[in-house]
A = this chain, B = another copy of it.
Amino acid sequence: MRGDMKRVMLTVAYDGTHYHGWQLQPGRITVEGVLNECLSGLLSKKTAVIGASRTDAGVHALGNVAVFDTDARIPAEKFSYALNQRLPEDIRIRGSRQVPSSFHPRKTASVKTYEYRILNEEFPDPVKRLYSYFTYRPLDEKRMQEAAAYVVGEHDFASFCSAGAQTDTTVRTIYDCRVDRLDTEIVLRISGSGFLYNMVRIIAGTLMEVGKGNIPPEAMEGILKAADRRAAGPTAPPEGLTLLSYRFPELEGR
């Protein structure tokens, strides 16, 4: 007995440490691959999700998003519980709901928020090693915050995009970018309409150069204008990065 076809949206959290990123790859353990397997097992039918963000190897997520279509009679809200019974502990579904069948997570306008964490004290903390980037070199978070303000707004972010990425335009809109120190950790939070390949990690790497005093905060303006990857700082390592959340204005109030 099958019901009507429906599209279900999942909010997906994962510890990216042991995955080769989100995207399905033959012969490699990926979040998408494991999710497809568990979903297919639950539905007794080969089923594949469409993911919102293809996070890189080692990057974490609290709120990545994926959708799939099914005619199973399981209520959309129950998929989170049912899938969590099957998924490994380092992937958790934090919510599930029905969405319009036309809803596509990569083709719908959204606000994405990322966090980059830097542990900045004399010695590393083993418990934080997989979820933050460690540097003992003192970082000045006030200078970093000054520099961060330059990326807010609509800009060409070509300087903050890894070579080889395919995209029509390198213009993106950043709504907010904040740097705060919480005791020994420096936390960068950034929200925008979209991000180029490695964009948050290159912004984090550049802000760290500012924090060390190697680049003045106001140099950010020239780095943006250069529209050249070589103008910006290094790409910060993946373990500090977490995709925190997606907002889809189109779905709100529904």
Binding site for B on A (CB under 8 A): 13-15, 60, 62, 80, 84, 89-95, 122-127, 129, 131, 242
Copies in the complex: 2
CA distance A89 to B125 in the complex (A): 9
CA distance A123 to B92 in the complex (A): 8
13 of the cross-chain contacts (CB-CB < 8 Å) are A13-B126, A13-B127, A14-B126, A60-B126, A80-B123, A89-B124, A89-B129, A90-B126, A90-B129, A92-B126, A93-B123, A95-B123, A127-B131
Query: For the complex, would chain A's binding face be called helix, strand, loop or mixed by DSSP majority?
Result: mixed
- CB atoms of A84 and B123 under 8 A apart: yes
**Residues in B neighbouring A91, C-beta threshold 8 A:** 126
**Residues in B neighbouring A95, C-beta threshold 8 A:** 123
Among residues of B, the one whose C-beta sits closest to the C-beta of A91 is B126
Among residues of B, the one whose C-beta sits closest to the C-beta of A62 is B125
The residue in A91, A122, A123 that gathers the most chain B C-beta atoms within 10 A of its C-beta is: A123
Residue from B13, B122, B127 in contact with A125 in the complex, judged by beta carbons closer than 8 Å = B13
CA distance A168 to B158 in the complex (A): 69
**Residues in B neighbouring A127, C-beta threshold 8 A:** 13, 15, 60, 62, 131, 242
The residue in A60, A90, A91, A126 that gathers the most chain B C-beta atoms within 10 A of its C-beta is: A126
